Amino acid sequence: MKKLVLFIGIGLLFACGEKEELQVGQKTTMKVQTVFNAGTVVKGEVINAKFKVTNTGEYPLVIGSVTPSCSCTVAEEPKEPIQPGESSEIIAQVNTDNLSAKKIQKMITIMANTDPSVTVLEIKGRIR
Distance CA 14, CA 105 (A): 43
Per-residue pLDDT of 46-61, as tens digits, reads 999 999 999 999 999 9
Q: Which phi and psi (to 5°) does residue 18 adopt?
A: -85, 0
Per-residue pLDDT of 81-107, as tens digits, reads 999 999 999 999 999 998 889 999 999
Burial of 89 (0-12, 13-18, 19+ CB in 10 A): middle
Distance CA 84, CA 55 (A): 5
pLDDT given for residue 10 in this prediction: 44
Give the residue among 7, 113, 112 at the shortest CA–CA distance from 121. Answer: 112
Domains of the chain, earliest start first? 21-127 (2.60.40.10)
